[in-house]
Chains A and B, each alone.
Chain A
């Protein structure tokens, strides 16, 4: 039943072995090596095809034609390297390297199915490219507790991958929260449906630093910060004493600040105080819609078995940063409180951060970055998982990225991006990196504890529509051209009587 495709040659280690082959396998294909009473699984990492007589010093096509005629393909060879992944039973790396001349067998579908479909706590992500009969399942427990990063260039299938994972989690009854930066998932057709969250925050629940960020009170404006904090804590304590005031927080802040203007000691800082009042004014103007005193706390809005989508599409980056950081903070503390006091957020959440390089950039500080890295570090204990999605991995904060133990890398062309990802994650080998630009749309290298062994996978196509795909430009033009005709018919119907 097993098909021998080649033999081990040269010097092998416990993790790598060279082989020559008679038939041509595919990169990413799984093979079995049987030695020392073990059956060991390996993956073809790299392949070379060559010919002894047709060396690379030949510079005349006629010679090639002559040699080919005489020799045919007899002296062609296929060499490759196998990465040893572990024994089939436990996937433990064997203590001994394979001896030379060990037969290299193609791993059968049955063996692979056993490996990739280990538990019932998994979600199907796709099938192996090298063997489409083998479905690949992700271990959700490992995915959530060890975090995930989905990296790819635009249009390679990030949104689809997110959708497949989100859908899978809700099928298990879990909770996903997507921070939807471009309103892509808002009307997607998930199995459990979408629980649409609008970016509304009760200003009372905003941390003073979050408010300051929205107001653009920079850290260098220490006087403004001083007065604002003073006013804020006063208002906050007033509201705690008299909860019926809670809908008037912004007005109270303004009143408090105006009151400062009359205090003799503060007269010299009149400019700073006026400046905050102006900023408070422009806060109301810009973010009046977000700051809703009637908005319920985040933790009350999240729902199980649904894809919770926070629509950030209409916000600018600063506002998105504030909202995301507020959500992350509230959710983290909600889980902590649940663990310690038994009230708070009573279920784990998997949080998908779209455009992670904007929220947690490498070269500047954002409010979200702090909470992302905290959840990356502490989330494991509280059942909070992060999924960082980015098309510009090298702009992403490396500490945060390295916390993501699971990786789904789709097509990634830029060498600097590839290197960056490789540095951030030990599991991605040089040879796999080389595969990245060659991947087609929807094909991904999947690494990490959630899959046990690395796999190159064709990701399933999500069946409910998501709007992230490219628009059909030509047909949009066509539609616009026909618009006059359509409208005309409609108009004639109105005016037909006369």
Chain B
């Protein structure tokens, strides 16, 4: 069996309140599913946060419904779980209920698994940390239910302590070990590792949800995972998409306007290059360091770049006082003395005295001085 694992598509997310950014997220989802379908999978898994909100706009709902419908019409099954963004915080029905009407399978506490062929697929909605014990109990139950099936998959939308230090609900050991593939969502960076008898994977977000994901995107790409369940240990491959909007993260240190303009011109070149390769206007995150008139710098930056950029985020910082650390062992005392005294003989005397006195040899120092004075006379 061949399956596609996708997650954290955040449909309806409108970053910086920009229409284009909302569109970027729809596009990313379209592209990832299109690319996935060329692999002819039997199944598409979505590990939560399909929508950015538990009450998505009709637009976001429509986008999701269209894609899901298209997939289902091709005879590919779709299994979803609600995530931390699209699961209602209090009582209520998540938007996934509509997709269920279309024929998708939505796993959750009241319907925690489905069996397709000889594959057991278990899954739970996102369960917050206050209900950790509930989550653990449900995981135990799922692990037991899965026994006896040939291939076993688990869908979760939770943070795990080893990957998400502060806002996690689980530690790695909490997760039952008898599944072949753990299709996880919630963490936006891509991650695959061996766990239990199979593979554990966070397929990551499909667009850059926050700036700090960009570096991971450059390194690992974005998209979905293609998972081949036919081998003993599942094989996991990346399905990448190439429509991610480029970001440019720049630290600009300035001490004069001309310097600033020169640096901006350099950035302009980079921006143009990024645009030419992606056909999307980049987002610039700039951090300007220096004791200058911010208003003026902002104006210059915006005037010269705004046509080329989707948006620019500007952070300004005063110039930091530099601390220079001097290691004591690198100080050459003799040299310093020579600089002052400018006389080899005097330096020699001073240095010897310094050494004698620093270890308390007062008498020897006395003698040395007397001798030196005699020599002078």
Contact = CB atoms under 8 A, between A and B. Distances in A.
Given A497-B91, A497-B92, A491 B134 contact: yes
A268 interface: no
A494 B110 contact: no
Nearest to A494: B91
B137 A488 contact: yes
Interface in A468-498: 483-484, 487-488, 490-498
Given A494-B91, A497-B93, A483 B133 contact: yes
B93 A498 contact: yes
Contacts of A488: 133-134, 137
B341 interface: no
B92 to A, nearest CB: 7
Residue among B110, B125, B127, B136 having the largest count of chain A Cβ atoms under 10 Å: B110
Contact of B131 (A491, A497, A498): A491
Contact of A484 (B93, B125, B133): B133
B57 interface: no
B112 to A, nearest CB: 11
Contacts of B131: 487, 490-491
B133 A498 contact: no
Given A487-B134, A488-B134, A495 B90 contact: no
Residue among A491, A496, A497 having the largest count of chain B Cβ atoms under 10 Å: A491
Nearest to A483: B133
A484 B127 contact: no
B94 interface: yes
B211 to A, nearest CB: 29
Contacts of B172: none
- A interface, over-half SS: helix
A88 B184 CA distance: 85
A209 to B, nearest CB: 32
Nearest to B90: A494
B134 A498 contact: no
A386 to B, nearest CB: 45
Contacts of B134: 484, 487-488, 491
A498 B97 contact: yes
B289 to A, nearest CB: 22
Contacts of A484: 133-134, 136-137
Contacts of B127: 491
B201 to A, nearest CB: 26
Contact of A498 (B108, B130, B137): B108
Contact of A495 (B109, B130, B137): B109
A490 B109 CA distance: 13
Interface in B94-131: 94, 97, 108-110, 125, 127, 130-131
Nearest to A498: B93
Nearest to A488: B134
A498 B94 CA distance: 8
Interface string B26-43: 000000000000000000
Nearest to A481: B133
Contacts of B130: 487
A496 B91 CA distance: 8
Interface string B73-93: 000000000000000001111
Nearest to B138: A488
B33 to A, nearest CB: 25
Contacts of B133: 483-484, 487-488
Residue among A487, A494, A498 having the largest count of chain B Cβ atoms under 10 Å: A498
28 contacts: A483-B133, A484-B133, A484-B136, A487-B130, A487-B131, A487-B134, A488-B133, A488-B134, A490-B131, A491-B109, A491-B127, A491-B131, A491-B134, A494-B90, A494-B91, A495-B91, A495-B108, A495-B109, A495-B110, A495-B125, A496-B91, A497-B91, A497-B92, A498-B93, A498-B94, A498-B97, A498-B108, A498-B110
